[in-house]
Structure 1
């Protein structure tokens, strides 16, 4: 990523990091289910965000839900998790439920833990096909009065989505995203590869995106469930000007990590929970103890709410 001097940007982090609230909204088949600390429910979570092509998996744990509430949601339902102190309260993550572990005893209480995979859709990775179906002739056999009679029948056959010669990768990405129902948050290709011999979609959407991103020398990942294609050439693609110091959210001295695969300068630190911060966010980190005062990009963050604390562990690169 191209990281420029922070003097060109106004970096600030508002909020007093007090009075946190968490709300989870699950869209069931018949109604929405809202579970919130504002209604005196206990809600814990561990939410991940990273810049890899594999969608992040996260968990949220509820205490003492009634059987009636538990009956209103199930696997593959869509979940949104909002959190933060009042000035920063907002959407942290969303995805589809992949697993539910209900009614686990925890002393006097019982817990329900939901695992969800980051996605803006309430469905799994899908494959897209041409809107024009093909057909094939198949032989069917029926028995009439004890005799087998064969007959031929035309059967509809799905046809792979194909693009003509000299189609650009950006065109394919937009079409596959539209047909599969994905939203693109950022489409910034380092190079818009041209497929001179054409291109045929033979895999599911996420695999197609990853393949096209590789052909375009571009980073591909999901961010709050939306699709991101990031060239690494823009200094601040999401315009999230976040500043971390010991006076603005930083709770540990940043530790220096080994150089990453791109030869970048990688650091890890902990801070008070801020739902604005996700993979791809650009932050200014200042820590005299670590001799660190520079603009960096988030590569991974784990947001955690445990009893009595809202924190996040952040890995940045610059």
Structure 2
């Protein structure tokens, strides 16, 4: 299967250099192709990425369908389509073996959200008698009030804070940068944390500019933020499955409910497509009707 590995390596370079995808995303794409390679090996099918046929791919999909749910199956097919489209793009193939393979229809899963009361209750449950507790409060307030991804939160640098202008600089997926507005209350919390809490940390070399530090003076892991939130949910008996991403969903939903427009929310969240934003904010047809009735010049108000 050496042939496969050489094409996969070229594809990974293409995703990294030309599409600027993150390491995690590239690994996910590669994992899908490696599942196919494993299938070929298992059944001793000697076909390269250039000679593999639609029938063999179909056989592989049928087998996968018995072990994964439709959502995972759809993601797998999508990943393979991307790989074979790349081979066509590079003139290795003239067609795709997935031409006749349809992606299973799956309903979009609406993310859980928290009410402002639930967010307040979670933050109020933090034990502020320790430096870690003080840090956790500031961290969760920042996560929610700026609508950040957890990876963006833990990577936040002091040099990314432009408080005089009222913005913070965020490096999101694919190293794309955006400026997110930050409110005065959150600015004060972060400033106090930096001046009175963070200074007591013994900061490790290389982490002098990292905003949120763990007890060892290094950058927090995403898993640690997840654990902090899970523990707080247990503490207040919150019967919802929540994660750091729940704060981001809630940020977007609350903005929409209070009258913010979708395009502004899209820019703050750093979504490439506004369709993604629609899912985040649970956009429904009732909301669209209200917008039409309120803003269209032909509507009879």
Structure-2-length-normalised TM-score: 0.24
User: Which structure is higher in strand share?
Assistant: 1
Structure-1-length-normalised TM-score: 0.23
